[in-house]
Amino acid sequence: MIKFLLIGLLRDKGRSLVPVLVVATGVMLCVFMHAYVSGIMGETIEMNAKFTTGHVKIMTKAYSDNIDQVPNDLALMDVSALMGDLKNEYQQMEWVPRIKFGGLIDAPDQNGETKAQGPAMGLGLDLLSGNSSEKERLKIQESLVRGAMPEKQGEILLSEEFSQKLKVNPGNEITLIGSTMNGSMTMYNFIVAGTIRFGSSVLDRGTVIADLEDARLALDMVDAAGEIVGYFKTGYYNQDKAAGVVQKFNSENYDPENEYSPFMLSLKDQDNMSLFVDMSEYMVWLVTFIFIIAMSLVLWNAGLLGGLRRYGEMGVRLAIGEEKKHVYFTMIAESVMIGIMGSILGTVLGLFFAFLIQHYGIDISSMMEGASILMPSKIRAHITPVDFYIGFVPGIISTVIGTALSGIGIFKRKTAQLFKELET
């Protein structure tokens, strides 16, 4: 019977083509919207993770309590030993030490006198060792505007906007004026290797990026780091896994009696990200649910109209002796087939368009000028396993419901009445 119904649908384009296309369109939009919203929320979370929070972050408890002040005098010590333990114990993650620091950047003129000064927020990263993927993670090479990447000790990167304010170019010398880990004043000279632009005004106002060892020398932080950030090798933040790592690490390493003992936080517990992470989870499903309901109504209506147009056909089948129940259930079976075919086609199309947005992205850098939150300059979709089956919910169920409601009329009308509709 199923084979017979399938052959009938394939041969009769009037019964199958339009309904399948309607279902495919609705499913395609559902799949694409889910991937698109997941991408928007996920990219924002990942950008914050890459530049500030990590998926998890290790600091001293005293540092975490005053993190907004970037208190390097409360930084982690013996970082090399701690890094070795982390790499052995948590092999599913990548660990990198970082130093955040603030200070004043002084740009001298040709006579060595101060030409311009400006406050800066610095970031010490492992750029030169070759054992870290920090450059790729933060896409520093892609963000380069002028000059080149640092190739030796003493070279630094400035944000393009900041360099324009200071009127310095690649090759010029600048001086960092700040305080060391021990609280004394430091003045350390750097050569500007290049300028960068991340596309976020939060980062482009006054960011300087130095190699980790240069930052340690400038701030007197030998084998120390303000924080160690960890990233899941899968590339995306997972709250459940992060919570498990945090619980395990703190139970083994954190001493409540020692404020300088290592203390770990997940992304959700930093920078007021808790609300955003929760909102991102609810937002994805809320938008998807609303869209599924809307498309379900459309597909329901399509199934209803398709069933109503076939009342004449039903009259003929009843007139030649076919039972009403059999007619009704064959209509349901046909709608299931149409729903499956349309859902498969729609899912393929939705994944295709989502892949294009995921790969190429949509540039919104012009809309981010003056923004005070850290968001990516390109919006990308994010295809997840859910996208491979979420479209089947409205695609099949709504089509079946529409057909089921329209088919109820078969039981309410007499065979003669149904047959008469064929004549009209």
The model's pLDDT over 226-259, given as tens digits with 9 standing for 90+, comes to 999 999 988 788 888 999 999 999 999 998 888 8
Q: What is the pLDDT of residues 187-216, one digit of tens each?
A: 999 999 999 988 777 778 889 999 999 999
Location of structure tokens 């000279």: 189
**pLDDT band at 372, cuts 50/70/90?**
very low
Q: Is the pLDDT of residue 16 over 50?
A: yes
Q: What is the pLDDT of residues 258-288, one digit of tens each?
A: 888 999 999 888 877 777 777 766 776 776 6
Contact 117, 102 (CB under 8 A): no
Q: Is the pLDDT of residue 5 over 60?
A: no
| Residue 4: per-residue pLDDT | 46
- What angle in degrees, to the nearest 10, is found between the helix axes of 324-360 and 2-11? 60
What is the rounded distance in angstroms from the CA atom of residue 377 to the CA atom of residue 202?
12
Q: What angle do CA 198, 200, 204 make, to 5 degrees?
A: 70
What is the rounded distance in angstroms from the CA atom of residue 22 to the CA atom of residue 25?
5
- Amino acid letter, 215: A
What is the rounded distance in angstroms from the CA atom of residue 158 to the CA atom of residue 146?
10
Q: Is the pLDDT of residue 6 over 60?
A: no
Q: Decide the pairing of beta strands 207-211 and 114-125.
A: parallel
Q: What is the pLDDT of residues 84-101, one digit of tens each?
A: 999 999 988 999 999 999
C-alpha pair distances (Å), 155 with each of 170, 195, 215, 273: 10, 11, 11, 33
pTM of the predicted model, to two decimals?
0.71
Contact 96, 126 (CB under 8 A): yes
Mean pLDDT rounded to a whole number for the chain: 81
**Which of 142, 123, 160, 202 shows the shortest CA–CA distance to 374?**
202
| Residue 234: per-residue pLDDT | 81
Residue count of the chain, please give it.
424
Q: What is the mean pLDDT of residues 177-186?
A: 89
| Residue 204: per-residue pLDDT | 80
Helix (H, G, I), strand (E, B) or coil at 407: helix
